[in-house]
Amino acid sequence: MSLLECRGLTKKWGALVAVSKVDIAVSAGEVVALIGPNGAGKSTVFDLIAGTTQKTSGTVAFRNEHVEGLSAAALTRRGMGRTYQITSLFPSLTVLENVRLAVQSCEPRRAYPLFSRLLLERTTEEALKWLHRVRLREHANTLAGLLSHGDQRLTEIAVALAMNPKLLLLDEPTQGMSVEETRGTVELLKSLLKDTDMAVLLVEHDLEVVFGLAHRIVVLDRGRKIADGLPAAVRADPGVQQAYLGAGHVAH
Ligand SMILES: Nc1ncnc2c1ncn2[C@@H]1O[C@H](COP(=O)(O)OP(=O)(O)OP(=O)(O)O)[C@@H](O)[C@H]1O
Ligand SMILES: [Mg+2]
């Protein structure tokens, strides 16, 4: 059984079928990219999985449990982490404080009295560990709002990782990054994923990022799944090429 198993996912907005009978499965340790032309339904699929949009029909099972109707917070507690397409940090808190909040949110409530020195020390240490891993240790005391855009996105990844997800939903992690920042982020994600069984579902327009990271690629076009396979097979698929070219652009 897969870690995440979506069957027949369907979302209608009035007469528009944004997502039509889509099956997606993600196994532990797997990196799956969800790609497709503009308007294909990628963000909608993401929101249906993360529980932020109500589906019309279909099922979502996560860790062998049907999770329809659970809140985003409940899904996080069950091990589904996500980053948002639009930066979601607290800009007037430091980078460390942002990550520490995420660590604290996972602490068992009764382990320490609230605000105890021990809790603070432990969660600070854990947050610094994650900042070190995304190479932002030296920015720990910078206000998040003052970081470069690329470093804000990396901080968001650290925030998501600090909650120890089994599945990480990454929403265009390199959007708005420079070419160098994008390459650095791909390398960083590769190294983060090397020794873990965390799975990743990635929505990404940058095909260099997709082919650099994904073990498997799912292609959507006008709400339907038109391909699902190994990167080389998907790249060579005439239907996929047609979907991109037919939409008037190669993914930007
Ligand atoms: N809240 C909404 N109300 C009505 N229609 C919507 C809504 N959200 C999305 N849609 C429509 O659903 C379809 C799929 O949109 P979605 O945002 O999932 O596509 P996408 O693949 O993420 O596209 P992009 O690459 O541009 O981000 C589009 O036709 C879009 O206009
Ligand atoms: Mg989108």
Ligand 1 atom at minimum distance from 47 CA: 18
pLDDT at 251 exceeding the cut of 50 = no
Ligand nearest to the CA of 40: 1
Measuring from each residue's beta carbon to the nearest atom of ligand 1, which residues come in under 6 Å? 13, 16, 18, 36, 38-44
- Determine the pLDDT at residue 69: 81
CATH 3.40.50.300, the chain: domain bounds? 1-79+168-188+196-252
Ligand 1 atom at minimum distance from 223 CA: 14
Q: Taking every pair of C-alpha atoms in the chain, what is the biggest distance, in angstroms?
A: 60
| Cα–Cα nearest to 229, from 239, 220, 218, 238 | 218
Mean pLDDT (whole number) for 7-29: 97
pLDDT at 76 exceeding the cut of 50 = yes
Residue nearest to atom 25 of ligand 1 (CA): 38
Q: Ligand 1: distance of its center to the CA of 58 in Å?
A: 18
List the single range of 47-51, 82-86, 108-112, 136-140 with lowest mean pLDDT: 108-112
Q: Ligand 2: distance of its center to the CA of 71 in Å?
A: 21
Mean pLDDT computed over every residue of the chain: 90
Best mutation site among 10, 13, 85, 175 for ligand 1 pocket (most ligand atoms within 8 Å of CB): 13
- Determine the pLDDT at residue 114: 60
Domain 1-79+168-188+196-252: state its class.
alpha beta
Residue nearest to atom 6 of ligand 1 (CA): 13
Residue nearest to atom 16 of ligand 1 (CA): 41
| Cα–Cα nearest to 105, from 167, 169, 162, 62 | 162
Mean pLDDT (whole number) for 25-33: 97
| pTM assigned to the model | 0.90
Ion ligand 2: residues, CB < 5 A: 43
Name, in order, each residue with C-beta under 8 angstroms of 87's C-beta and a sequence gap of 6 or more.
Answer: 149, 152, 153, 156
Q: Ligand 1: distance of its center to the CA of 66 in Å?
A: 25
Q: How many CB atoms lie under 10 A from the CB of residue 29? A: 13
pLDDT at 110 exceeding the cut of 70 = no
Residue nearest to atom 27 of ligand 1 (CA): 38
Residue 107's pLDDT band, with cuts at 50, 70 and 90, is confident
Residue 195's pLDDT band, with cuts at 50, 70 and 90, is confident
List the single range of 16-25, 66-75, 93-102 with lowest mean pLDDT: 66-75
**Interhelix angle for 95-106 vs 149-161, to 10°?**
20
Give the tens place of pLDDT for each residue, 129-179: 999 999 999 999 999 999 999 999 999 999 999 999 999 999 888 988 999
pLDDT at 109 exceeding the cut of 70 = no
Q: Ligand 1: distance of its center to the CA of 242 in Å?
A: 20
Hunting for tokens 């390199």 — which residue is that?
174
Indicate the SS3 state at residue 144.
helix
Q: Ligand 1: distance of its center to the CA of 40 in Å?
A: 7
